[in-house]
Structure 1
Amino acid sequence: MHTKTDSEVTSVATSSPTRSPPRRPIYYVQSPSRDSHDGEKTVTTSFHSSPVLSPVASPHHSSSTGFSAPQRKKEHQHQHQHSLKTWKQIDVIEEEGFLHGEDRNSGFSRRCYFLAFVVGFFVLFSLFSLILLGASKHMKPKIVIKSIKFDHVTVQAGSDSTGVATDMISMNSTLKFTYRNTGTFFGVHVSATPLELSYSDIVIASGNMKEFHQSRKSHRLVSVAIMGSKVPLYGSGASLSSTTGMPTLPVPLNLNFVMRSRANVLGKLVKPKYYKRIHCSITLDPKKLGAQVSLKNSCTYD
């Protein structure tokens, strides 16, 4: 029997197909850090601090890298979701602000439109009123004094209220005139001051005209009674007195009054007024008592 030496045994063991089981790699477990970058730094330091450069370190690096990547992905997703939530909140705030701003702008616009409408309405209404006023100013009423009739005239001696003796005159007369409203779109309200007949600056008779309304583009004949009773003449009555109580000579008289007309163009807003001052020189002829005396060419109208 051949005794195998140690070298032969070694050679047989080496050449034998059966291999010894490989050594299991040693893994270093590193607790995950909150910051993935700190974990990588710790693992890298441990790897470089190892004195042996062998394939054993590779699994350790893979394990650390495999753990850090999901962690970074998770944190990245968390940050992305947080960013989305923030942007959504900003969008909601901006949208609400936009809507509120739009509501405020709409309310402001409505107020501006309303104010512009009111101002425009007043401007147009004022312009329309001015146009009506200007047009109505040219449509003045026309007044023509037609005639006067003296029905009764007497001059007699008497005394005034203080007892002073003087001649006193009494008369009864009627004045006629025509009034024409030339307005094409408005009526007028007509009044007048007292109609006064005077002799030597003494009012010997007066009368009041009854107020009336004259419709557009129409006319009427107006009659006013002018009367006086026992009016003192003082020294002016010497030329009028007579034995019969009637004046024997023509007596110059003056008639004065003011005709007032107010047009109703646009209610109480546009009411033009017209004034006509009338003065007539009249001659009282004792021979024409009871007859109409024409005054067509005896009056002035101011």
Structure 2
Amino acid sequence: MHTKTDSEVTTTSVATSTSPTRSPPRRPLYYVQSPSHDGEKTVTTSFHSTPVASPHHSSSSTHFSASKKDQQHQHSVNPWKHIDVIEEEGFLEKERNGGYSRRCYFLAFVVGFFVLFSLFSLILWGASRPMKPKIVIKSIKFDHVTVQAGSDSTGVATDMITMNSTLKFTYRNTGTFFGVHVSATPLELSYSDIVIASGNMKEFHQSRRSHRLVSVAVMGSKVPLYGSGASLSSTTGMPTLPVPLNLNFVMRSRANVLGNLVKHKYYKRIQCSITLDPKKLGALVSLKNSCTYD
């Protein structure tokens, strides 16, 4: 194998460079970068080549320029879109978390309000329990009493009594911060288990720490006595002897401690033993020590 010497290599290179058939050198291609109108940088390419450049070379350069432009556009636009998506997701997450917080605060406020309101109502209810109304029966006055013969609705003959009387009592509301609505069952005067007169008390409202004197008309008209009327009849139509009577009714009081939410109801059954003295018609009969209150 023959090895070339340095002189041979030099001679060969000189010969090659001086050869008349060598092709002229191609001009280098370069890129010109110019700003676009929208602030983004795009890359355009300018080719300087010999007039004999092939079409294949030109199309390749054009494709290269387009691909570079797409890449620059993606790098300049896509990052902002990505940031916008992240910011929107973060905003939605914060809004969602804020909605949960507001719901929790509202629920805590509602629960706390009801707990405090219930505690306050319980305190008022407990404080108002011992403040029961006080009722004192004062007197009764018999204005008119008549016993006469007659007949009932079926035509049976019997003695019949007619009576007009007025009962007075005091009602006191001991509550310090609530009023009461007062009503009562019919006030009944009975003789030998026969109701001979009755009266209805008009309902009223009593304000806190106040009292009033109540008057109720108790009347009966031609009430049949049947066999019990023999001891009451007389030629004058008036009883000649004292007549024992019983008074019965129930007083009802309703206290609205906190509107219609907290209420107290007090019931008091009143029974009085009364003696009708024909000699004291038109006079007040004291009942201070003749009544019981249950």
- Fold shared by both chains (TM-score > 0.5): yes
Q: What is the aligned partner in structure 2 of residue 58 from structure 1?
A: 54
Change (3 A) 1:236 1:91: same
Structure 2 Cα separation of the partners of residues 44 and 256 of structure 1: 116
Change (3 A) 1:46 1:115: closer
Question: Does residue 18 of structure 2 align to residue 23 of structure 1?
Answer: no
Deviations 1:16-58 (A, max 9, x none): 99999999999999999xxx999999999999999xxxx9999
Aligned with 2:158 (options 166, 182, 193): 166
- Identity level (%): 92
Change (3 A) 1:156 1:83: same
The structural deviation recorded for 1:226 is 0.5
CA contact (8 A) 2:42 2:69 kept: no
CA contact (8 A) 2:30 2:46 kept: no
With 241-250 and 199-208 compared, the bigger mean Cα shift is at: 241-250
Deviations 1:235-288 (A, max 9, x none): 011111111111111111110111111223222212222111111111111122
Change (3 A) 1:240 1:176: same
TM-score by length of 2: 0.70
The structural deviation recorded for 1:12 is 23
Mapping 1:77-88, distance limit 5 Å: none
Change (3 A) 1:3 1:163: closer
Number of paired residues? 288
Give the 3-state SS of the residue equivalent to 1:28 in structure 2: strand
TM-score by length of 1: 0.69
Change (3 A) 1:177 1:95: same
Change (3 A) 1:7 1:148: closer
CA contact (8 A) 1:43 1:64 kept: no
Change (3 A) 1:136 1:6: closer
* RMSD of aligned alpha carbons: 10.7
Change (3 A) 1:64 1:39: farther
With 147-156 and 267-276 compared, the bigger mean Cα shift is at: 267-276
The structural deviation recorded for 1:207 is 0.7
Give the 3-state SS of the residue equivalent to 2:32 in structure 1: coil
Change (3 A) 1:46 1:287: closer
Higher helix share: 1
Deviations 1:148-190 (A, max 9, x none): 1111111111100111000001111110100001111111111
Deviations 1:79-112 (A, max 9, x none): xx9999999959964883476xx22111101001
CA contact (8 A) 1:209 1:224 kept: yes
Give the 3-state SS of the residue equivalent to 2:54 in structure 1: helix
Give the 3-state SS of the residue equivalent to 1:30 in structure 2: strand
Unaligned runs of 5+ in 1: none
Higher strand share: 2
Structure 2 Cα separation of the partners of residues 3 and 214 of structure 1: 139
Structure of greater Rg = 1
Give the 3-state SS of the residue equivalent to 2:47 in structure 1: helix
Unaligned runs of 5+ in 2: none
The structural deviation recorded for 1:77 is 14
Detail structure 1 runs of 4+ shifted over 2 Å in the superposition.
1-32, 36-50, 55-69, 73-78, 81-99
Give the 3-state SS of the residue equivalent to 1:49 in structure 2: coil
